[in-house]
Structure 1
Amino acid sequence: MTLYDYPRSGHAHRIRLFLSIIDEPYESVNVDMQKGAHKDPEYRKLSPLGQVPTLVDGDIVITDSTAALVYLAIGHGDEKWLPRDAEGAARVQRWLSVAAGELYRGPVVARAGRQFGRPVDLERADGECKRLFKWMQQELADRTWLAADHATIADIAMYTYVRVVDEGDIDLDPYPAILRWLADVEELDGFEAMPRAEK
């Protein structure tokens, strides 16, 4: 299995983190996005949109981080990571959708604007962060994990960008349940931290 990766990508970190937790060996290939390696025609054959991560397992190529989590959970993990019953799967899918929607529009955009100088609407991103974190605080107030009574790929998908939201100048201190949840993820066997952006 090969992971086309970029260390500063939170999307790629999701896959590194899960591969480490399920103890699945893989080869890492660095796609240096700062140098434009994601635009290389050879890489575009694997990832037509030029995104990381790209996961290659034999003849199978997966180019979306949440899709890769689903693939790994079903093909290489065990059922606890993605329940096979309809309700359990739907609960996980809800958070995978949040990871692609609200999480992106809030924490990801705030970090991109403040840490990497991307031209984004920071006021809107800050509002999205507050709305998301208020909801997550309520969701986690009386349970340990997002989608089940144990960790699932929902927690993996949400973890990285919530953990590094301070790089977008967003404070998590008003959300103690989220801080506790982050610490619980970090206690999982095989946990691998997201590299912090250089100041």
Structure 2
Amino acid sequence: MLLLLESSDIHAYLAADEVIDHGHPLVQETSDALWTATGDAYSYAEAAYAFVRDTIPHSADSGDTRVSWRASDVLATRNGICYAKSHALVALLRARGIPAGLCYQRLTEDDGSGAAVHGLVALKLPGSGQWARVDPRGNKPGVDARFSLERERLAFPVRPELGEVDYAEVYAAPHPAPLKALRESADRPELWRNLPDSL
């Protein structure tokens, strides 16, 4: 899939903000530990991906009702939905100078009844001519996302026949619709009601 950068300035995909707070000590500490265990950009990116995918449970899988949205909070609570986990992975990548941004999909129930926006990550490794999408949502029966820069291995390949959409944009900052849902929800049941169904 051809990805479209929201910003033509690569530095936008390295920036820190209130959500992607990669200057936070916990983000830095986690980044340092992962870097020490790897030592090059590709291995680090793969390790950061696996860390977020595998050690921070998706709150729908774990039953955790807390809502986290800031990258450092996701790492501190070891909890979050797809958007939050994506924020954490983007922060870990940017902490090591790897350009990263946020991507989204519109997914539906198998019967086509309901829809929600799903969050994932795009990154560009040094020396690579292209951006690649990865999905740190977390695996479970029926979901087998992998770190792959050559061929996408996302949690949910879209099904256009059900009205699902791959949004091509790579956002430097979280899209306002999912971020609003995260910030304005007191707990996960409320968040489920507030999830946007499209961008």
Same fold by TM (over 0.5)? no
More helix by share: 1
More strand by share: 2
TM-score under structure 2 normalisation? 0.27
TM-score under structure 1 normalisation? 0.27
Larger Rg: 1
